[in-house]
Structure 1
Amino acid sequence: MPAYIIAQINVTNPEQYKEYTKLTPAAIAKYGGKFIVRGGDKMTLEGPEETRRVVLIEFPDMESAKTFWHSAEYEEAKAKRKGAAEGSFVLVEGL
């Protein structure tokens, strides 16, 4: 079953955040992932207004997503994100 990482991110340092976004596509692809949503227009339909950047990444399965998250490639990217953005990342299993 596919698995998805859902991220809601508040970018606090756009220049530094660019360094993070340069590293993530190759790391995601290496583990079979692909971006479904990467920022872009959004509209809150119910509840408090969502102002954070929304990212949705699809992986072939939960294990691939977990392997990506703990990979050396993504650890390097996460180090670039530190101090540039805050957010939540949730891994969910799809149908």
Structure 2
Amino acid sequence: MTVYAIAQISITNLDTYNRYQARFMEVFGRFKGSLLAADASPQVVEGPWDREKVILMSFPDEGSFHEWAQSPEYLEIAIDRKSGSDGVVLLAQGLS
């Protein structure tokens, strides 16, 4: 069943985050996910929102998400994401 990873972040160190972002697609492209959106200024339609950027990815199943998120290649670049941003990542199950 398709799963969606939703990241909501605030960038705390632009240089460090840009280093992560520069390598992201190279690493992400090796796995079964699809990048659906990466919006640095999403329109807030309702309620308070204290982040700057939203990222939406889809994966064919939860195993594929974990294969990417826990891969040595991603963990290597994720150091810069964690150092250069603050946020939350959600994993949502798609409808069958």
C-alpha distance in 2, partners of 1:41/1:80? 21
1:15 aligned onto 2:8 = no
Answer yes or no: is the 8 Å Cα contact 2:17–2:85 preserved in 1.
Answer: yes
Structure 1 unaligned regions, length at least 5: none
Q: Note the 1:1-95 alignment, pairs <5 A.
A: 1-95=1-95
Answer yes or no: is the 8 Å Cα contact 1:10–1:52 preserved in 2.
Answer: yes
Answer yes or no: is the 8 Å Cα contact 1:27–1:74 preserved in 2.
Answer: yes
CA RMSD of aligned residues (A): 1.4
Deviation at 1:48, TM superposition (A): 0.6
Count of aligned residue pairs for this structure pair: 95
Name whichever of 79-88 and 39-48 sits farther off.
39-48
Per-residue CA deviations over 1:45-81 (Å, capped at 9, x if unaligned) read 2111354200001111111001111100110111112
C-alpha distance in 1, partners of 2:54/2:66? 20
Q: Where in structure 1 do 4 or more consecutive aligned residues deviate above 3 Å?
A: none
Letter in 2 for 1:79: I
Task: State the SS of the aligned residue for 1:20.
Answer: helix
C-alpha distance in 2, partners of 1:92/1:77? 23
Answer yes or no: is the 8 Å Cα contact 1:8–1:89 preserved in 2.
Answer: yes
Q: Which TM-score applies when normalising by structure 1?
A: 0.88
C-alpha distance in 2, partners of 1:6/1:54? 7
Answer yes or no: is the 8 Å Cα contact 1:4–1:59 preserved in 2.
Answer: yes
C-alpha distance in 2, partners of 1:22/1:9? 17
Q: Which TM-score applies when normalising by structure 2?
A: 0.88
Taking only the aligned residue pairs, the percentage that are identical comes to 32
